[in-house]
Amino acid sequence: MYFASDNTAPVHPKVMESLTRANAGYAPSYGGDAIMDTVRARIRELFEAPQAAVYLVATGSTANALSLATFCPPWGAVYCHPRAHIEEDECGAPEFYTGGAKLVLVDGDDAKMTPANLRQKIADTVQGDVHRVQRGMVSITNVTEMGAVYSTAEVAALCDIGKSFGLPCHMDGARFANALVATNASPAEMTWKAGIDVLSFGGTKNGLMGVEAVVIFDPEKAWEFELRRKRSGHLFSKHRYLSAQMQAYLADDLWLSLARDANAMGARLSAGIAAAKGGKLLHPTDANMVFATLPRAAHRRAKDAGATYHFWPVDRSLDGPDDAALSARMVCSWCTTADDVDRFLSTISG
Amino acid sequence: MYFASDNTAPVHPKVMESLTRANAGYAPSYGGDAIMDTVRARIRELFEAPQAAVYLVATGSTANALSLATFCPPWGAVYCHPRAHIEEDECGAPEFYTGGAKLVLVDGDDAKMTPANLRQKIADTVQGDVHRVQRGMVSITNVTEMGAVYSTAEVAALCDIGKSFGLPCHMDGARFANALVATNASPAEMTWKAGIDVLSFGGTKNGLMGVEAVVIFDPEKAWEFELRRKRSGHLFSKHRYLSAQMQAYLADDLWLSLARDANAMGARLSAGIAAAKGGKLLHPTDANMVFATLPRAAHRRAKDAGATYHFWPVDRSLDGPDDAALSARMVCSWCTTADDVDRFLSTISG
Amino acid sequence: MYFASDNTAPVHPKVMESLTRANAGYAPSYGGDAIMDTVRARIRELFEAPQAAVYLVATGSTANALSLATFCPPWGAVYCHPRAHIEEDECGAPEFYTGGAKLVLVDGDDAKMTPANLRQKIADTVQGDVHRVQRGMVSITNVTEMGAVYSTAEVAALCDIGKSFGLPCHMDGARFANALVATNASPAEMTWKAGIDVLSFGGTKNGLMGVEAVVIFDPEKAWEFELRRKRSGHLFSKHRYLSAQMQAYLADDLWLSLARDANAMGARLSAGIAAAKGGKLLHPTDANMVFATLPRAAHRRAKDAGATYHFWPVDRSLDGPDDAALSARMVCSWCTTADDVDRFLSTISG
Amino acid sequence: MYFASDNTAPVHPKVMESLTRANAGYAPSYGGDAIMDTVRARIRELFEAPQAAVYLVATGSTANALSLATFCPPWGAVYCHPRAHIEEDECGAPEFYTGGAKLVLVDGDDAKMTPANLRQKIADTVQGDVHRVQRGMVSITNVTEMGAVYSTAEVAALCDIGKSFGLPCHMDGARFANALVATNASPAEMTWKAGIDVLSFGGTKNGLMGVEAVVIFDPEKAWEFELRRKRSGHLFSKHRYLSAQMQAYLADDLWLSLARDANAMGARLSAGIAAAKGGKLLHPTDANMVFATLPRAAHRRAKDAGATYHFWPVDRSLDGPDDAALSARMVCSWCTTADDVDRFLSTISG
């Protein structure tokens, strides 16, 4: 009953095997490894993007921050949701990497920006007025931090607005696989076909040890990205061990299979909570994250039984009357089992 | 015959085993893993530094750049050798991370700063003159980039000068283990007892997949370091896999044992080249790196036989008469074998 | 009828005279001029702050950005109003100078942060969570950008909250003199006695050519400020000409006298508009700035008669029916005359 | 006998008159003043560059740092002389503004880079190696910090090398007028005709209060420059007072006339020192700066008589035997008189 985060889950055995396979003899360093060539080719194929520049880094914040820094000037506005990971969970990495760009917050339910709000915020950024930060880029988090998923049409609607102002569009896809399986979209449909210019393609939360790909659909900025990656310490010397993780991830659609499992467990958990006494969903469970309130008594039983998850916001206290609602975030991962979920549901039901 | 770099070597099997062991079930993320607690305790013990702050990052440039940024203000001068890794091989990471500090170059043979040169350069940085960058910190690379090793007395001499000006001292120990076994010094003797305030304690070049520890002997700056690490994307969510590598590294003195092997192979290779016809060492081989010239004919035979290593500087060409000398860098690693070395020596002898 | 901004007004004759007086012979450069000594002494006296560090820069954005950078780390949150000059009118200067701090917006009417909102936003910045920016500092704009003035009690209430969280407090006093005469507060009462640690003490908008003082009440950070000023190009070689402006400003209470005149004209204009047909004030006119709506017909008559001022927001259009309201900003300065105001009022009355 | 620096001299009376003339009534702010239009037109005409973008800032460090930041990426190498102002006298402003570019030092006598050294240093910056900073731009200081002047042919030789590597070229012309009159070159010949892309066109050291123009010959980067200027606090609200200074400077060739006077006094002083007992020039006096050694006895007499100038380097002490040589820097300005010079020469002769 470990629902704290998908990044507390272990590495998938096939990924471990791939690492072991990669560990034979010498290999060129700094991305010159042969495995990276196959990974690059595979990602281009998957995304139907034969020209795309593909890079691996080890953390999601890095994928995001380097993507933003490459596409947004220091005086640019980055349009994102107030609950976006880049706004709330990276300790200012976007500002650090861009040299001081400003995150301009665009509201909407379930951590999804609405087209109308995005258009308004961009329009409000008066262009050509030297006293103001300038329109910079759009960043869309999919799956959102509240567990909702943008459809490809929704992504396209936001990108269309961005494009109409000439802005590049980024997708923070830390849970990209979960978003794809939730929508049955292809990688291309969810990204460049919808208007995305650069993607943080997550793996760590979905069974890898620590690898995210950055996919840049127009390779013009590729060399700049490489310099920014190196200069920030994110180019690995023993790069083959990043490549090997991604290789296993993409082989036999493992990545989609793992995300499908996690989403299924999210749905099971969500349905169970919604049906539980005092249970109430706060956001739609489109993927593997459940946001819900439960009576404090239910939480107490769960915690006593060893369930691990965060109240939400994280600084909320369990103190209070038994029947008082308390909100929580529960995240399923590739290795969450139906038994885990059912035990939890049984526990909260008392 | 793979002497291109110690970072082209594979991961030691015991490290792979440790990763596999760590891969059981769920674990707290972002450094909250239990393995990190044992690693921290072990490093404190090894360094006889019970208060030290200990952090793990994945690359050497990161360990260096975060260390410098934490101890040197944006207007500070970082005193280092012109051949230092931070000056030549990190694409400006120190400048990026510090917010624009200036690397002031202190010369000396074999990539070792001399005390006299260091004292002069610090003295030349007029203090209290607002037009100049201010004295910031000292950074010592040990093993140096030319394969020489500073003795503890030499480190202490440099640190004493730094301290006499009130400056913090950093050691870039990407090959720290190799330096230790070369000098028979203890970790404490090579660092805080000699005056080092912060150490980049390398593992990647010596059998790990990608882990360096940063050891801060006075923990006052620990929280600042943590924020800088997170903000630059270098805090791993699945941190346990960094911890597990370092755990294996330190167990049963594996780290020292691997470095001893690498240094022994360096000595064997160095002696053989010195004895070869036309062979000439350019720097003392104190550890695992050999810098030497050989006749182009010898290089041609080696390359034809499949030997892998870099001419030095890296852009030098093999073109030229058979007997014309060409310099090269050859690096041994934990997995270099005597057979490798002997075959190479036999090849160059023709 | 020139109400576009107080920075479109000329320099007061006494300031020009002071510049001419200062222009005799040679003088030490870079702040070593004797006039600066008298200015520093005078400001310390005026503020009852004998230890204060006092520096001159040429623009308000500079005074603000250097103050923030000196007191707030790169990972800090700067709490300010969404209408604050540092948020809206400096093209990201705070982010640039701080190395990427985040401006966290605290709402309230008339561009005044409310204590409750400030407390909430600070409390929401979870401290000790490495994933979030940390509490940094508070920045209060007085006069606000909407023309309202914080009383000393209101300033103290905000600073008290900041202090209760251990945060330094900044005042953007681009119109500091106008705030003082509006409240009858002393400089000390409006600043350090209320909890302000660093003040941007404006002069440019109130009759100077281009000088703002930065007053740092605890001089511990003085040297850092000097380095930041130099490093950003804001230390003037011929500094005496900044000093001379400030000297004239402070002599015989010229600064207060000019602000009193500007505020009086603001009040006269405000009262007239409020009494005009279709005139409606949008914010209280506490100082020299009037925000009001007027029918488009009134605006058209004013513009036809040569009145100069901005619609508000600045991108609003005069197109529309005669009786449709259109909001505008009108700013009085030290040289606005009662005749100017009365002619304007007469014009809009048709 | 005030030879401390040309920035200790007063403002020329015609500049003061121009400021007074500009001080009539209201004027648009932030560079929208009509005087700026005439200044822009005049500079374009003088430089035979009808498309040039022209901006005014108040200090030389700012002109340089903004020019570098606009043309050199954060990972670029800026090639300059070790004695360049940008390297020695700006407290790291170039590093701050560029986001951490590296100044790569190119030696040569009299603070003039030699073409051979420049070519070597650029060639040594291995391009396309992600571990190294990349070739960025060339910065030429004319007049050099040692008082020598590059001829237009010498500038062209350096720019040709830069251009052959595809690099933009900057001239730090803090003493641009002095360089022009020393060489009889036209503004165009000294700049874009020789290959300069962006010029810091100094005025402050030559009779202005505090104005330097930045002239960008290809206006493509103009808007970026404007944003960088604003964002760093260097856009003046009461901009007309910068414009008015530059207007007077350029009227009736005042700028060249003042520089001619300063250079003539430099020559007179230089010749007298060379002829004095124990006097020895350290660098050619091509413009208004004299670097020379004199016996300490001569310095003592000069100081006793009230002469003001710096020993060189600035931290040198007058202590020592009467006949021991001590080097010094003496700078003439537009208001240095022949009488000043002759009195000084007479004093040192004893």
A237 contacts on B by Cβ (under 8 Å): 5, 7, 59-60, 204-205, 210
Encoding tokens for residue C211? 């000088």
Helices (H), B10-108: 13-22, 34-46, 60-71, 85-88, 93-98
Encoding tokens for residue B272? 């053989």
Q: Establish if B4 belongs to a structural domain.
A: no
- Who among A99, A224, A235 is closest to D99 (CB)? A99
CATH of the domain at B191: 3.40.640.10
- In this model, does residue D210 exceed pLDDT 80? yes
pLDDT, residue D314, reads 81
Q: Edge-to-edge strands of the sheet including A310-311?
A: A280-281, A289-295, A325-331, A310-311
| Burial bucket for residue C303 (CB in 10 Å: 0-12, 13-18, 19+) | middle
Domain co-membership, C339 together with C271 = yes
Residues 6+ apart with CB under 8 A from D110: D144, D146, D147, D148, D283, D284
d(CA B130, CA C225): 10
- Who among B61, B66, B236 is closest to A58 (CB)? B236
Mutate to test the interface with B, among C227, C228, C235, C239 (most CBs of B within 10 A): C227
| H or E, element range at D292 | strand D289-295
Q: Minimal CA–CA distance to D207: which of D269, D148, D264, D250?
A: D250
Domain co-membership, D196 together with D313 = no
Q: Minimal CA–CA distance to B282: which of B273, B272, B293, B266?
A: B293
Q: Which chains touch A (3 or more CB pairs under 8 A)?
A: B, C, D
Domain co-membership, D242 together with D314 = no
Of D234, D253, D272, the last residue of a domain is D253
Contact B35, B22 (CB under 8 A): yes
Do C232 and D9 count as a contact with CB atoms less than 8 A apart?
no
Q: Establish if D173 belongs to a structural domain.
A: yes
Encoding tokens for residue C194? 């209320």
CA angle C157, C160, C162 (to 5 degrees): 115
Residue D37: CB atoms within 10 Å:
12
Q: b vs e for C244-282, b when ≥16 Cβ sit within 10 Å of the residue's Cβ?
A: bbbbbbbeeebbbbbbbbbbbbbbbbbbbbeebebbeeb
CATH of the domain at C308: 3.90.1150.10
Mutate to test the interface with A, among B2, B5, B8, B226 (most CBs of A within 10 A): B8
d(CA B79, CA A275): 65
pLDDT, residue C340, reads 96
- In this model, does residue D266 exceed pLDDT 90? yes
Domain co-membership, A316 together with A249 = no
Print pLDDT tens along chain B (350 aa): 999 999 999 999 999 999 999 999 999 999 999 999 999 999 999 999 999 999 999 999 999 999 999 999 999 999 999 999 999 999 999 999 999 999 999 999 999 999 999 999 999 998 889 999 999 999 999 999 999 999 999 999 999 999 999 999 999 999 999 999 999 999 999 999 999 999 999 999 999 999 999 999 999 999 999 999 999 999 999 999 999 999 999 999 999 999 999 999 999 999 999 999 999 999 999 999 999 999 999 999 999 999 999 999 887 899 999 999 999 999 999 999 999 999 999 999 97
pLDDT, residue D55, reads 98
pLDDT, residue C241, reads 98
Quick one: average pLDDT of A15-30?
97
Do A100 and C103 count as a contact with CB atoms less than 8 A apart?
no
Do B27 and A7 count as a contact with CB atoms less than 8 A apart?
no
Q: Edge-to-edge strands of the sheet including B289-295?
A: B280-281, B289-295, B325-331, B310-311
Of A204, A231, A253, the last residue of a domain is A253
Domain co-membership, C139 together with C239 = yes
Domain co-membership, C49 together with C130 = yes
Contact D127, D68 (CB under 8 A): no
Q: What is the pLDDT of residues C207-231, one digit of tens each?
A: 999 999 999 999 999 999 999 999 9
Residues 6+ apart with CB under 8 A from C70: C198, C216, C221, C224, C225, C228
d(CA B188, CA B195): 10
Domain co-membership, B223 together with B325 = no
Helices (H), chain A: 13-22, 34-46, 60-71, 85-88, 93-98, 115-124, 152-164, 176-183, 187-190, 222-231, 240-250, 254-275, 296-304, 338-349
Q: What is the pLDDT of residues A126-136, one digit of tens each?
A: 888 999 999 99
Q: Establish if A1 belongs to a structural domain.
A: no
Domain co-membership, A153 together with A74 = yes
Encoding tokens for residue B60? 């050497």
3-class SS at C137? strand
pLDDT, residue D73, reads 98
Q: Residue D224: which pLDDT band, with cuts at 50, 70 and 90? A: very high
Domain co-membership, D154 together with D72 = yes
d(CA A191, CA A205): 19
Q: Residue D315: which pLDDT band, with cuts at 50, 70 and 90? A: confident
Q: How many CA atoms within 13 Å lie on the side-chain side of B128?
A: 4
Q: Minimal CA–CA distance to A350: which of A317, A313, A301?
A: A301
Contact C348, C297 (CB under 8 A): no
Quick one: average pLDDT of D304-310?
96
Q: Assign 3-class secondary structure to C17-41.
A: HHHHHHCCCCCCCCCCCHHHHHHHH
Residues 6+ apart with CB under 8 A from D329: D289, D290, D291, D309, D310, D311, D312
- In this model, does residue A313 exceed pLDDT 90? no
Can the peptide bond before residue D28 be classed as cis, meaning omega within 30 degrees of 0? no
Q: What is the pLDDT of residues C302-326, one digit of tens each?
A: 999 999 999 998 878 999 999 999 9
pLDDT, residue B265, reads 98
Of C205, C226, C253, the last residue of a domain is C253
> What is the identity of the amino acid at C225?
F
Residue C38: CB atoms within 10 Å:
15
Q: Establish if B274 belongs to a structural domain.
A: yes
Bridge partners (DSSP) listed for residue D104:
D79
DSSP conformation class of C143? S
pLDDT, residue B271, reads 98
Q: Establish if C90 belongs to a structural domain.
A: yes
Q: Establish if D4 belongs to a structural domain.
A: no
User: Which is it for strands A310-311 and A325-331: parallel, antiparallel or unpaired?
Assistant: antiparallel
Look at the block and give the residue holding tokens 């700006």. D90
Q: With both helix axes pointing from N to C terminus, report the angle between B222-231 and B60-71 in degrees, rounded to the nearest 10.
A: 130
- In this model, does residue D350 exceed pLDDT 80? no
Of all residues in chain A, what percent carry a pLDDT higher than 90? Answer: 97
Q: Minimal CA–CA distance to C145: which of C335, C299, C288, C11?
A: C288
**Predicted complex ipTM:** 0.97
Q: Establish if B133 belongs to a structural domain.
A: yes
- Looking at the 3D structure of chain D, how many domains does it have? 2
Of all residues in chain D, what percent carry a pLDDT higher than 90? Answer: 97
Q: b vs e for B306-323, b when ≥16 Cβ sit within 10 Å of the residue's Cβ?
A: ebebbbbeeeeeeeeeee
pLDDT, residue B314, reads 81
Q: Establish if A7 belongs to a structural domain.
A: no
Q: How far C47 CA sits from the closest chain D CA (Å)?
A: 26
Look at the block and give the residue holding tokens 């996919």. A215
Contact A333, A288 (CB under 8 A): yes
Contact D118, D79 (CB under 8 A): yes
Residue C167: CB atoms within 10 Å:
23
Quick one: average pLDDT of D123-133?
93
d(CA C121, CA D110): 58
Domain co-membership, B105 together with B208 = yes
- In this model, does residue D70 exceed pLDDT 90? yes
d(CA B55, CA B30): 11
Biggest CA pair distance of chain D? 62
Mutate to test the interface with D, among C89, C232, C308 (most CBs of D within 10 A): C232
pLDDT, residue C126, reads 87
Q: How far A74 CA sits from the closest chain C CA (Å)?
A: 8
Encoding tokens for residue D174? 């803090």
- Who among B92, B130, B131 is closest to D133 (CB)? B92
Q: Minimal CA–CA distance to C298: which of C257, C330, C263, C336?
A: C330
With an 8 Å Cβ cutoff, the interface of chain A facing chain D consists of: 30, 73-75, 99, 130-131, 134, 224, 226-231, 235
Give whole-number Cα distances, B211 to B63, B69, B216, in Å: 9, 19, 16
Domain co-membership, C183 together with C290 = no
d(CA D284, CA D292): 10
| Burial bucket for residue A25 (CB in 10 Å: 0-12, 13-18, 19+) | exposed
Do A130 and D230 count as a contact with CB atoms less than 8 A apart?
yes
Q: Alpha-carbon torsion A195, A199, A203, A206, what sign?
A: negative
Do D75 and B92 count as a contact with CB atoms less than 8 A apart?
yes
Q: How far A276 CA sits from the closest chain C CA (Å)?
A: 31
Q: What is the pLDDT of residues C27-40, one digit of tens each?
A: 999 999 999 999 99
Contact C166, C174 (CB under 8 A): no
DSSP conformation class of D104? E
Secondary structure (DSSP) of D85-100: HHHHSSTTHHHHHHTS
Print pLDDT tens along chain C (350 aa): 899 999 999 999 999 999 999 999 999 999 999 999 999 999 999 999 999 999 999 999 999 999 999 999 999 999 999 999 999 999 999 999 999 999 999 999 999 999 999 999 999 998 889 999 999 999 999 999 999 999 999 999 999 999 999 999 999 999 999 999 999 999 999 999 999 999 999 999 999 999 999 999 999 999 999 999 999 999 999 999 999 999 999 999 999 999 999 999 999 999 999 999 999 999 999 999 999 999 999 999 999 999 999 999 887 899 999 999 999 999 999 999 999 999 999 999 97
Task: Provide the whole-model pTM.
Answer: 0.97
Mean pLDDT of chain D: 97
Bridge partners (DSSP) listed for residue C137:
C78
Residue D123: CB atoms within 10 Å:
13
Q: How far A3 CA sits from the closest chain B CA (Å)?
A: 10
Q: How far B11 CA sits from the closest chain A CA (Å)?
A: 6
Q: Which chains touch D (3 or more CB pairs under 8 A)?
A: A, B, C
Domain co-membership, B48 together with B132 = yes
Nearest-by-CA chain D residue for B85: D131
Domain, as residue range, for D310: 255-349
